[in-house]
Structure 1
Amino acid sequence: MRVGYVVGRFPALSETFVINQMAGLLQRNFEVGVVCNGIAPEAHIDTSVEPLSTLMAGTRDWWGPAAGLRSRIATLPSGLRDKASTLLDRLSVRRLNSFDVIVAHFGHNGARVARLKKRGLITPPIITVFHGYDVGVPLHEKRLGEYRDLFKFGSLNLPVNDYFRRLLIEAGASDQKVSVHRMGIDVTQIPFTPQSRREVTLRLISVSRLIEKKGVEFALRAMSLVKKSKPEFDWQYTIVGDGPNREQLQQIAAEGDITDRVAFTGSLPHATVKEELRRSHVFVLPSVTAGNGDVEGIPVALMEAMAAGLTVVSTHHSGIPELIADRKTGFLAPEKDVAALADSILWIATHPEQCEQFAQDARLKVEQEYNAETLNDRFATIVSDVAKAGK
């Protein structure tokens, strides 16, 4: 069976969950091809190793030889830009029709394929995976209805959490065409190695793109509050990742008088990130709804931290409470509540025994519900069933 993935720029370090899902299908003897909106490997991605070596061989740009026109078309007025883009999308019709089923990651990519199906140009059934930005931003702008063609011509919509499922159904998707399918992690590659936090410097870590919705600003403000309220408390905070908000975050750390305790590492290879996690005690990701409506799905970084044995601190945001049970498998604070975040971290510092139990329960939660092997088995069945029904 041939499965065609439709994605944005490929491959992307911030979307390794997509690559991992593709790898899962390859391991189950599916053929996988990719249609993307720009072939541009990011730093720290080695395309010479598997599964990327195989995937890159089967990757094509939406516009093929005309891909060089993308920057020019982006400068056109919106109406003309949309017409030109739709016309150039037809260059991938033959490629898309060579697949038995199409899997689009992110709603806007699914909608792009659905427009071709609406015109009768392609025939394979469409599965669309919704992750966060593709739900939160159109919800904020009151335009979730723009997915109506996808809801009509797509075969199945797979939001990564139940919160998104409810929103898509409210926007007009048939409940029979919407089913939660979570992203997961390979727990066999993440040993459970909780670090003792008794009478040692408490090591906190965040791993994320440095953008608004990740909420790192509020983690920094919480740590500034911790320093003011408990100056004798010994801690270090490592922030792994890069992004447009890095300078702003460094300024917040300076204003909070915590630069001596905070390290910004920039982006790191995945193996190095896993080593940083192994040395840490607490993983902090206080996600928030961004000003443009952008939201999380369920961050893979939280799953990895829980699997590794860290105590996680996050927020009541989007699907995160579906992963973390407050004061059972981690800690949840209201969005942007700096005082609640600080209180959680101070509680963690003074209750090591309880946190050890939380870590064990968190690992079990990930093993049972976010295990990539189990989820990839389920996804392979979904793809096969949709392809058969679409013939």
Structure 2
Amino acid sequence: MPRDSKTLRIALLLDNYPAISETFIDNQILSLLDRSIDVTILSFGRGVPDASRLHGATRRILEAARLIRIGVPRPRAGRAFDLLYLLAHPIATLRILLRALGAGALPSPYDFIRLVMAAVDLGSQPLGFDHVFCHFAPNGQFGTWLADLGLIRGRLVTFFHGYDFSERVQAQGPDIYRRLFKRGDLFVANTNYTRRRILEIGAPEARTVRVPVGLYPDRFPFRARSGAGGRAVRFLSIGRLVEKKGHVYAIEALALVRAAGVDASLAIIGEGPTRPALEAAIARLDLGGHVELLGRRTQEDVARLADAADIFVLASTSAPSGDVEGQGLVLQEAQALGMPVIASNHNGFPEGLVDGETGVLVPERDPPALAEAMIELARRPERWTPMGSAGSAWVRRHFDQAYLTEQLLILLGEVPHATAEHA
């Protein structure tokens, strides 16, 4: 039977919370807290992020939710220390071994060590919840072991986001989540594209739904872009400096934009391993005064830089490793702020904007096509305000986190006499 939301107990299985780049998880947690739901965060990992860099929303979560940190095994070089850990906790080790044998299946050695660590950190009594939200499929997979071995209780809800259905599947094969799909209670895809991909690898159709990740619209105040003043057009891109974000194509496109006589600049917010390659591309194309790699920035800095920008660009692509984007929430954030957006026609991106009305889609890995779209919008600033207004209204209608959380709770049967809407 559905419960009153005030009695609900929801846990989230997360990697090393808080992760500064995963604001969509903060958004979901806040929306649960706003409904007076009892929230517990089970965080896997060793590191503790620098508190001075945390967003205000994250600090509020840490004050209102219960946080339990669960250790994880060391890298292979430190595996001997993990064996010593098992010897130092013989009761927990024996308990997990006996329960695994009783369940008729043994986890991998790595997961066995993780389970012993979880048994020590969680205590001898199982933690009971109504639902356990596992963000990213590997956490859902591990959640099945936690449940089967009696460490947690609750319906397992697994959220797929990107690398978990792409890069990880390419590396380990399509059967990687067989256990998860058999044991999990609900599987949540952020786009219809993501849903199709996980159905292809065995997700049960009746238990697989689409619910996007969302935002809090009031944190993204609309500002009309007009192009007044005759200054250079300011393009902005936000995303980790990794191959799938396609930043190199945006840089190459800007060179073509400027070669066409359009005065324009590009700012890229984010940090990561492709920085040297991007710096080399900037130097090769003689864009040193026109492309800025701004690195990681605080939420306040990002808001200021976004407010000053005219047009948002996201040139994501499929990486050779198989890693891809799922939804690309930053596209919705940019539209909420009133920016026209230009994005690659990548996976779930077409579901996150209205092509020709709130933004423009271009082929992946195609700097000339990207440059053509950038030039077209740069030369027609009269389009910016209508596109930005349409995008802001569309995002507020479809990606409000409070609305999306309600839809999820309806699907879970926690909102009586209500039916979820289908996009």
The two structures share one fold, judged by TM-score above 0.5 = yes
Matched residue SS, 2:277: helix
Matched, 1:102 2:148: no
- Structure 1 pair 9/384, CA: closer, same or farther in 2 (3 Å)? farther
Q: Deviations over 1:10-41 (max 9, x none)?
A: 10111111011111111101111111112522
- Structure 1 pair 95/103, CA: closer, same or farther in 2 (3 Å)? farther
Counterpart position of 2:243: 212
Matched, 1:303 2:312: no
Matched, 1:341 2:349: no
Q: Deviations over 1:227-258 (max 9, x none)?
A: 23x2x321121111111111221111111111
Maintained 8 Å contact 2:247/2:278: yes
| TM-aligned CA deviation for residue 346 of structure 1 | 0.4
- Structure 1 pair 73/148, CA: closer, same or farther in 2 (3 Å)? farther
Maintained 8 Å contact 2:258/2:264: no
Maintained 8 Å contact 2:225/2:384: no
Moved more, 23-32 or 138-147: 138-147
- Report the Cα distance in structure 1 between the residues aligned to 2:197 and 2:385, rounded to whole angstroms: 36
In our comparison, the structure showing a higher alpha carbon Rg is 2
- Structure 1 pair 14/95, CA: closer, same or farther in 2 (3 Å)? farther
Matched residue SS, 1:100: strand
The equivalences for 1:1-391 within 5 A come to 1-38=8-45, 39-42=47-50, 44-46=53-55, 49-55=59-65, 58-63=66-71, 70-71=74-75, 75=79, 80-91=109-120, 92=122, 97-119=127-149, 122-141=152-171, 143-198=173-228, 199-228=230-259, 230=260, 232-383=261-412, 385=414
Q: Deviations over 1:156-204 (max 9, x none)?
A: 0001011111122222221110000111111122111022214321011
| TM-aligned CA deviation for residue 303 of structure 1 | 0.8
Moved more, 24-33 or 194-203: 194-203
Maintained 8 Å contact 2:377/2:384: yes
Maintained 8 Å contact 2:129/2:153: no
Maintained 8 Å contact 1:303/1:366: yes
Maintained 8 Å contact 1:73/1:84: no
- Report the Cα distance in structure 1 between the residues aligned to 2:55 and 2:356, rounded to whole angstroms: 39
| TM-aligned CA deviation for residue 53 of structure 1 | 2.5
Maintained 8 Å contact 2:141/2:177: yes
Maintained 8 Å contact 1:278/1:308: yes
Moved more, 252-261 or 371-380: 371-380
Q: In percent, how many aligned pairs have the same letter? A: 30
Structure 2: where are the runs of 5+ without partners?
1-7, 83-106, 416-423
Maintained 8 Å contact 1:103/1:126: yes
Maintained 8 Å contact 2:128/2:153: no
Structure 1: where are the runs of 5+ without partners?
387-391
TM-score (norm 1): 0.90
- Report the Cα distance in structure 1 between the residues aligned to 2:409 and 2:304, rounded to whole angstroms: 31
TM-score (norm 2): 0.83
Matched residue SS, 1:13: coil
| TM-aligned CA deviation for residue 79 of structure 1 | 5.9
Maintained 8 Å contact 1:4/1:103: yes
Letter of the aligned partner of 2:224 in structure 1?
A: P
Maintained 8 Å contact 1:111/1:147: yes
Letter of the aligned partner of 2:257 in structure 1?
A: V
| TM-aligned CA deviation for residue 120 of structure 1 | 5.5
Q: Deviations over 1:130-180 (max 9, x none)?
A: 111111113433623221111111110001011111122222221110000
Counterpart position of 2:420: none
Counterpart position of 2:100: none
Q: How many residues align?
A: 378
Moved more, 353-362 or 250-259: 353-362
Moved more, 168-177 or 24-33: 168-177
- Structure 1 pair 96/169, CA: closer, same or farther in 2 (3 Å)? farther
